[in-house]
Chains A and B, each alone.
Chain A
Amino acid sequence: MSMTDLELIGLTKTYGSGAAVDNLNLSVAAGELVAFLGPSGCGKTTTLRMVAGFVEPTGGTIRVQGRDITELAPNKRDMGMVFQSYALFPHMTVARNIAFGLHARRVRRSEVAPRVAAALDLVGLSGMEDRYPRQLSGGQQQRVALARVLALRPKLLLFDEPLSNLDAKLRVQMRHEIRRLQKEVGITALFVTHDQEEAMTIADRIVVINAGRIEQAGTPAEIYDHPTTRFVADFIGTANLISGTVRNGRFRSKRGLEFPLPTATASSIGEMALAIRPEKIDIAPTPSPGQLAGRVTRRTRLGSVIEYELALASGDILVVQEQGRAGVDQHEPGSTVGLQWRREDLRLLP
């Protein structure tokens, strides 16, 4: 087990009567990149701002490398934050933006220029020293914001939805860039996002947050393939969620549809939800005898994938996705098709 760099212990923030962050516990290992993922208002940004020192926690402790920093002023925390708006100083050149933190931390003058140059080199912006932020593209501004914090070699990197202002192509490119840089400098990082694809690409570990609480924490694969709550199954990717009850070793939906239970499921009783990912369902052009049948009620082309909405005889609705390759049959709306899946792709969720 690697060393723990950041620990959040019982971290809580209440505004008025409601809790924005509710008793949050998390350990982040040295060098790890952890993404906070959740819908807007779930408390992920508040948590990040408590770590940065901009929001005072109502309760709980923040430890960095074993030291309690809960009460420390933001300028004494030695963290580098990249803001959603980049927050570059508009009246300073790129070089002065990067040097600002070095001067504030009383780095020797002779050392400032080389470190500014090194940071710019790291993000591939050498030669841009004398430009002003407004003369740079969004992507370049983003890189300057990164260089500005990397030049300080902080204990912790904090990213507050840093890619949400970039266009789609650049956003995807910067994900890989940020991950590469973070691994290169080896600094522990927290990355706040509401974009699940972004979290999946960038993070070593994803912490799914909902209503101020951690729903699930795990690697991107764990989160996607083994969601432990309905919220996670529904929020990460898409999932068909069918609520019902477990009785006599079988799952029975509210509308009366029966399924065999997934393998390796504890024999839980009571209200449950059955989840299956749309791409884990196979469609046959015509249902074979005894197979579950559904009528195509909608067909949508999502880039490389074709999505079908199928109505089952019971009234349950399933969403199914298929690769739209040439030679693969497309199913006409109105036609009746057969459905099947592997039992181990079903998840039974509380």
Chain B
Amino acid sequence: MILTFVNALILLFLTAPIIVVVATAFTTTGYPVFPPQGFTLKWFERFLAMPEFTEAVRRSAMLALASTAIAAVLGTFSALALARWQGRGQKAVAALMLSPILFPAIVLGLALLVFYSQIGLAGSFNGLIIAHSLITTPFVIRLVMASLSEFDPALEEAARNLGAGWWRTFLQITLPLIRPGVLAGAVFAFILSFDELVVTLFLAGPGMATLPVRIYTYVEYSSTPTISAISTTLILAWVLIGVPVYVRFLSIKHV
């Protein structure tokens, strides 16, 4: 009883901002108010009519997809290597590989800017992809390692013993069994990259603003409910795409 009540409170606490943002997207006033006044879809029309925003959504999606693909591959293989490595130094290297999680984004952004200027990657889209992969790979490593901790290494030995080479063993035995971790890592990486602001602010060249950068610069001089409309669209996209993926592949029941 008490637990149900506490749960309800926590749920309210977590969803309140979302409820407010979604509600304000439909207000007829020229600025976000809660509760909203009247009902209109004009802020959504406004959003879709602003090419700098639709272009930013497309760019952010491209960036997130590319860096997620890189992070998923690198993270999975790093996790496999770390999990198999029994020797000395394993813990130290694991900690080092996970350290970007603990690094302040602003420091990372500055460091990358200096480094990129040296090697000529500054202001390029490829540089952004690399930076986002760097930020997201540790999360993939972490989640795949969690999956691997429940993986019986004898299964790989059995596959090898039955005559399978390394590649067949990986594709048919290891990968299907650690898939929940890889997918969870990829979903996490995608969201992180799509949402990334600080490092991107440092590295994005002219005409390369991602959606978070666009929103950030927009709210500096404007406070129309267009921002609420954009946020509501993103929330809707998550509910329609992200949640089914989550339930299908990552729910505890399925593992």
Residues of A near any B CB (own CB < 8 A): 52-54, 73-81, 83-85, 87-91, 100-101, 104-105, 148-149, 152, 158
Q: Are B177 and A148 in contact (CB under 8 A)?
A: no
Q: Are B173 and A89 in contact (CB under 8 A)?
A: yes
Picked from A73, A87, A88, the residue with its CB within 8 Å of the CB of B157 is A87
Q: Are B159 and A100 in contact (CB under 8 A)?
A: yes
Q: Chain A residues near B163: list those with CB within 8 A.
A: 75-76, 78, 101, 104-105, 152
A73 to B163, CA, bound (A): 10
Q: Are B155 and A89 in contact (CB under 8 A)?
A: yes
**Residue on B nearest A79 in the bound complex, by CB:** B161
A74 to B160, CA, bound (A): 6
B220 at the A interface (CB under 8 A): no
Residues of B near any A CB (own CB < 8 A): 152, 154-155, 157-165, 168, 172-173, 176-177
Q: Are A52 and B164 in contact (CB under 8 A)?
A: no
Give the residue among B158, B160, B161 with the most A Cβ atoms within 10 A. Answer: B161
- A75-B157 CB under 8 A given contacts A91-B176, A91-B177, A104-B168: no
- For the A-B complex, the count of residue pairs with Cβ-Cβ distances under 8 Å equals 65
- A74-B177 CB under 8 A given contacts A100-B172, A104-B168: no
Apart from the given pairs A74-B157, A89-B158, 5 other A-B contacts in the complex at a CB distance below 8 Å:
A87-B155, A91-B176, A100-B159, A104-B164, A104-B165
The minimal Cβ–Cβ distance linking A113 to chain B, given in whole angstroms, is 17
**Residue on A nearest B155 in the bound complex, by CB:** A87
Q: Are A90 and B165 in contact (CB under 8 A)?
A: no
Picked from B161, B164, B177, the residue with its CB within 8 Å of the CB of A81 is B161
Picked from B152, B154, B162, B176, the residue with its CB within 8 Å of the CB of A100 is B162
A88 to B155, CA, bound (A): 7
Q: Chain B residues near A74: list those with CB within 8 A.
A: 157, 160-161
Q: Are A87 and B152 in contact (CB under 8 A)?
A: yes
**Residue on A nearest B158 in the bound complex, by CB:** A87
**Residue on B nearest A160 in the bound complex, by CB:** B154
Q: Chain A residues near B160: list those with CB within 8 A.
A: 53-54, 73-75
A74 to B165, CA, bound (A): 9
Q: Are A83 and B162 in contact (CB under 8 A)?
A: no
Q: Are A75 and B172 in contact (CB under 8 A)?
A: no
Q: Are A80 and B161 in contact (CB under 8 A)?
A: yes
**Residue on A nearest B153 in the bound complex, by CB:** A87
A90 to B168, CA, bound (A): 16
The minimal Cβ–Cβ distance linking A63 to chain B, given in whole angstroms, is 19
Q: Chain A residues near B173: list those with CB within 8 A.
A: 89
Q: Chain B residues near A79: list those with CB within 8 A.
A: 161
**Residue on B nearest A52 in the bound complex, by CB:** B161
25 A-B interface contacts by CB (under 8 A): A54-B157, A54-B160, A74-B157, A74-B160, A74-B161, A75-B160, A75-B162, A75-B165, A78-B163, A79-B161, A81-B157, A81-B158, A83-B154, A85-B152, A87-B154, A87-B158, A89-B158, A89-B173, A91-B176, A100-B162, A104-B159, A104-B168, A105-B162, A148-B162, A152-B162
**Residue on B nearest A77 in the bound complex, by CB:** B161
Picked from B154, B157, B162, the residue with its CB within 8 Å of the CB of A104 is B162
A90 to B180, CA, bound (A): 14
Q: Are A100 and B164 in contact (CB under 8 A)?
A: yes
Picked from A75, A84, A88, A90, the residue with its CB within 8 Å of the CB of B161 is A75
Q: Chain A residues near B162: list those with CB within 8 A.
A: 75, 80, 100-101, 104-105, 148-149, 152
The minimal Cβ–Cβ distance linking B173 to chain A, given in whole angstroms, is 6
A350 to B138, CA, bound (A): 60
The minimal Cβ–Cβ distance linking A151 to chain B, given in whole angstroms, is 9
A76 to B154, CA, bound (A): 17
A84 to B157, CA, bound (A): 12
Q: Chain B residues near A105: list those with CB within 8 A.
A: 162-163
